[in-house]
A and B are shown apart, each in its own frame.
Chain A
Amino acid sequence: MKYNSSNIAFLLIDGYSVLGVTTDLTEDYTAKTEETTPLGAADETHAFTGLLFSKMSQSGFFDDAAGSSHATLVDGNGLLRVVCYGVEGNTAGKNFVGFSGALQTQYRRGLKVGDLHKASADYVGSGAKNEGKILHAHGAETTVGNTQATGVDNAASSATGAVGYLEVSALTLGGYTNAIVTLQDSADNITFADISGGAFTANTAAPAAQRLVIAGTIRRYTFIRWAYTGAGTGQSITFMAGIVRT
């Protein structure tokens, strides 16, 4: 299936949602190689060193509104950012890309007569780049709930753990102490169990992002559950969550 720019579901950097001010996003995923051509060879040869390398750059409009491009990037150089973006639509079960550590190396502001101001940043991957499944599409939830209507079916369990991503772009606690987001799985799509080690740290502020490494078996169906701790009114959490089976 082919996709286009309208299918870009979200671009979340440490919880900052910058899709609305971004016009270009480029990601390179490269196998590091070394030339192995010996004397006497007529053709160059190369070997894979075993290392994979990713880098990413984004560009778009400079915007100093709260939570927009300037706030996201201005103090980000040298930081390991949790970056997630979806290229196939904002729907549970679609693929997303997550970086375990996107090290921001540069923030640029572009100013030119007759043009809107621009902002851009570059990142190098420090650690793994993951391709996973969206479990909770980027959006707001105001009550306790789960994704059991839109669980993701992997067709089988997997035995070697997973990585969970959570990007919280907005949070109103309305008196509640925090908002909890938990990964769940199921063998039969009827009963859902909290995954051991699959509870993200309680959310008390946004923007924020987390990446969880989970060991062991992940059952066939995966879900997200969210809840608020305490009591209050007017609560809301806007988040995206996904899982990568490793």
Chain B
Amino acid sequence: MAKKYRALTGLNFPATPAAVKKRKAGQELEPDEWTRVETGKTTDAIPAESISWLLKDGLIEEIKAVKKT
């Protein structure tokens, strides 16, 4: 299951792995290939490549699952 993160600032990123691939290949994305996550919202769609620097810079935080007892 993909990890969930809370955005601590507004974020824009390619909406799908295919869009990430296009972006990395230097191709221009259509407006509907981008997505926006506002501050405080949670998402599991952040591109994997970006998670480490976003965490390191304090721009996202991981949402830990709470175990049911």
Q: How far is the CB of A159 from chain B (nearest CB, A)?
A: 12
Residues B23-60 near A (CB distance < 8 A): 23-24, 28-29, 31, 34, 39, 46-47, 49-50, 53-54, 57, 59
Q: Select A196's contact among B9, B12, B14, B53, beta carbons within 8 Å.
A: B9
B49 neighbours in A (Cβ, 8 Å)? 188, 190-191
Q: Are A187 and B53 in contact (CB under 8 A)?
A: yes
Q: When chains A and B are docked, how far (Å) is the Cα of A143 from the Cα of B31?
A: 10
- How many residue pairs, one in A and one in B, have C-beta atoms under 8 Å apart? 52
Select from chain A the residue with minimum beta-carbon distance to B10. Answer: A194
Q: Are B47 and A193 in contact (CB under 8 A)?
A: no
Q: Are B12 and A188 in contact (CB under 8 A)?
A: no
Q: Is A192 an interface residue (CB 8 A)?
A: yes
Q: How far is the CB of B11 from chain A (nearest CB, A)?
A: 6
B59 neighbours in A (Cβ, 8 Å)? 193
Residues A32-59 near B (CB distance < 8 A): none
Q: Is A95 an interface residue (CB 8 A)?
A: no
Q: A145-B31, A149-B28 are in contact. Are A190 and B9 (CB under 8 A)?
A: no
Q: How far is the CB of B42 from chain A (nearest CB, A)?
A: 15
Q: Are B46 and A191 in contact (CB under 8 A)?
A: yes
Q: A190-B20, A191-B46, A192-B12 are in contact. Are A148 and B34 (CB under 8 A)?
A: yes
Select from chain A the residue with minimum beta-carbon distance to B48. Answer: A190
Which residues of A does B touch, CB under 8 Å?
Answer: 143, 145-146, 148-149, 182, 184, 187-194, 196, 217, 219, 225
What are 10 A-B interface contacts by the 8 Å CB criterion?
Answer: A143-B31, A184-B12, A188-B50, A188-B53, A190-B14, A190-B23, A190-B49, A191-B50, A217-B57, A225-B10
